[in-house]
Amino acid sequence: MISSLSVPRLLAAFAWIFLAASVRAETIMGIPFADAEGVLLELDLHLPPFVKKPPVVVYVHGGGWRAGSRADVPVTGLLDYGFAIASVDYRLSTRAPFPAQIHDIKAAIRFLRAKADELGIDAQRVVICGSSAGGHLAALSGVTNGHEELEGRIGDHLDQSSRVDAVVSFFGASNLRSILDQSTEAGREARIPVLQLFLGDLPDNVPALAKLASPVAHLDAEDPPVFLLHGDADPQMPYAQSEEFQTACRGAGVPVRLVTMPGGLHGGSEFYDDERIRMVVDSLREHLGLESP
């Protein structure tokens, strides 16, 4: 027999179990957003609990432009602060060279904006974010709104804008014309074949294409604010790339913040811990006009 005193406790326990289960983020896997020349492109949408129409962060995975998967989403800490995350596919350089990757990412942004009401996200607050090669692609997508050569014709929502409201790049490239000069000898050996696959040749041999692929070459005062995070001991992506991007942003009148990880290498959990995620969130709240909870 259950005593009258224990009943409220049991009800409270059941309520707590229900609440704990309900606060988990919801993930909708494998949402198709475009057919890119016979390649089906999909995204995974991670939604924060208890947030109606959250702002959305479009996440672009790394992998040297030639590898990686949308399943790799190290920024899930953003869900705790009320941001949705759309982790997107793009054609890898093993299948299609640049600028296919940018065409695909912009198609994803247009899709999210067109389907915002159905997906329950805020189409007026869209952030693009990426790590390593994904950071480069995120930055390039973010600073080339309306660029005819980079918008592409992928997807069914060409009437929508691919504009974003902020850019976040974790240790990404910014200038493919200077990256090899800034690299160590070991870095050059690793990066040369990757660049050749991505651009079809070395940057010096295709200078116009390398310029087109460089975020620093597209900056103007109309571009969204930029948040950069980079380790100053990065052996794979020169820290100088983020320094160069910061200088170029300031010269163009684009709001920019560079957070340096002293002794930081190329990625790792420390880049996505709560302290760093809070830095990103504080910057996004400021620029997106969001109130702190």
* H-state helical runs in 85-238: 100-114, 116-119, 133-142, 148-151, 185-199, 207-212
Three-class secondary structure of residue 11 per DSSP: helix
C-alpha span between 151 and 110 (Å, rounded):
10
How much is the pTM?
0.90
Question: Domains plus CATH for the chain?
Answer: 26-288 (3.40.50.1820)
Maximal C-alpha separation, the chain? 84
Give pLDDT, residue 147: 96
Q: How far is CA 70 from CA 73, 80, 131, in A?
A: 7, 20, 12
Residue 292, helix vs strand vs coil:
coil
Please tell me the total number of residues recorded for the chain in this structure.
293
Reported as type and span, the H/E element at residue 123 is strand 122-131
Residue pLDDT tens, the chain, 293 long: 333 334 343 333 333 333 333 456 799 999 999 999 999 999 999 999 999 999 999 999 999 999 999 999 999 999 999 999 999 999 999 999 999 999 999 999 999 999 999 999 999 999 999 999 999 999 999 999 999 999 999 999 999 999 999 999 999 999 999 999 999 888 888 899 999 999 999 999 999 999 999 999 999 999 999 999 999 999 999 999 999 999 999 999 999 999 999 999 998 999 999 999 999 999 999 998 887 65
| Selection from 69, 206, 203, 224 nearest residue 140 by Cα | 224
**Residue pointed to by tokens 């190329």:** 266
